[in-house]
Amino acid sequence: MTNVDQATPLWRQLLATASVVQRVRGGASATAALTDVAVALRPGVQALSFQVLRNLGLAQSLRLQLARRAPPPATDALLCSALALAWSDAQAPYEVFTLVNQTVEAAKRGAAHRGQANFVNACLRRFMREREAMVASLQSDPVAVWSHPQWWIDRLKRERPTQWQAILAQNNHHAPMTLRVNVRKIGVPDYQAALVGAGIDAVPVGPSGLTLTRAVPVHALPGFTQGLVSVQDAAAQLAAPLLLGGLVAPSTRPRVLDACAAPGGKTAHLLEMADCDVTAIDVDPVRCERIEQNLRRLGVNAQLITADAANPQAWWDGRQFDAVLLDAPCTASGIVRRHPDVRWLRRESDIEQLAAIQARLLQTLWSVVRPGGRLLYSTCSVFKAEGQEQIETFLAHNSNATLAPSPGHLMPKSGAKPEAVPDNLQGDHDGFYYALLEKCGA
């Protein structure tokens, strides 16, 4: 067993973890909930919270076996957190008996659990006695087995009849830490050598990426502060090469629009790859500040605009762009490995609502692409309504658009279609969708 944080009493970490889980159940993102956790506690609590969220479906089913009537929400979150962490000796971050004892201690000490310690103790002691049989009895419960909402499982079964189990299984694994080397400042082999010198092992992935064999804090990365490298998933690193590769522009400096640009990873990659004039737009002023900070660290510049990309009248000067990157708002169903709370926050109705936003953005931004230019449509989603079906509908209604060779849907840890574009050699990436559209005309 590897302790998540040996410096802090476990009961304190469990109290904070339960608070995060309760807030996610109430509709808050784990990222937002974690910002309210004390800085000293945050790394350990994040690790525990993410593990709980990856096993929450199982934990909720176990709690129903132990107590059909739910305790108060705070105590229910604490109990489910303990069950999610303790259901398997092999996966438990601490010895199971320690988790049980410290959860009871948390119930005794936490103001939100007043009067509930005996209940928590009784449930967990029974669980310890009957754990094997209770877990085995849930093998026919899809939500318990896969720890995803039933609608999510059903939708994947319909859309990916031969892949749905592999996708769900990968969603419950940790994502790798992948870096994008700033090739304007250093070559990939040279940066890999710098990593080796720092005792960090990595393997090349794609034209400018390196996947670490184990994650490290960013401040441990050589030259991070100086802008030598950024953290970016291998699938996300495909955007800039797809958009700029083979682009023929009337001038030597293509005009590129990055719509919905925050936090700026793809914006920066475009500028690292080529000499181009990039306009980056995001509707959120706070997120625009993050774009500016990231660009400043990397030593590249873009025109930043805080505006709604779907309303060009507010930001467009009338000059069409050579290339547009539309990284559209989506369910984020492809990045569940990194954000395990997403599965519990989304509702199936969100897909239709987001697909409508995506369609409006697509149609609006197509008008700012010059004839002969291109638009790259991207989502970090595995659902067809946000990818393949979206583009099929767009092409059916826009005779001046053609689909260039594109990866299409990339499933977590799967390779791109060989007849389209080469994917990273490791094949270890988030779920994404890419469609490169070219605009007909002189």
Active site residues: 380
Place of tokens 């960013």: 218
10 Å CB burial of residue 25 (0-12, 13-18, 19+) is: middle
SS3 434: strand
Using a 10 angstrom Cβ sphere, with 0-12 exposed, 13-18 middle and 19 or more buried, the burial of residue 176 is buried
Compute the radius of gyration of the chain from its Cα atoms: 24
How far apart are the C-alpha atoms of 398 and 435, rounded to whole Å? Answer: 15
Q: Measure Cα distances from 174 to 25, 80, 235 in Å.
A: 21, 21, 16
Q: Is residue 277 helix, strand or coil?
A: strand
Give me 436's structure tokens.
Answer: 């490169």
Q: Rounded to an integer, what distance in angstroms lies between the CA atom of residue 139 and that of residue 10?
A: 30
Give the integer Cα–Cα distance in Å for 30 and 152: 19
29 neighbors 341 (Cβ within 8 angstroms): yes
Beta strands in 260-320 (DSSP E): 277-282, 303-306
Burial of 185 (0-12, 13-18, 19+ CB in 10 A): middle
Cα separation, 41 vs 44, in Å, equals: 6
Q: How many CB atoms lie within 10 A of CB 111?
A: 7
3-state helix, strand, coil in the chain (%, to 5): 45, 15, 40
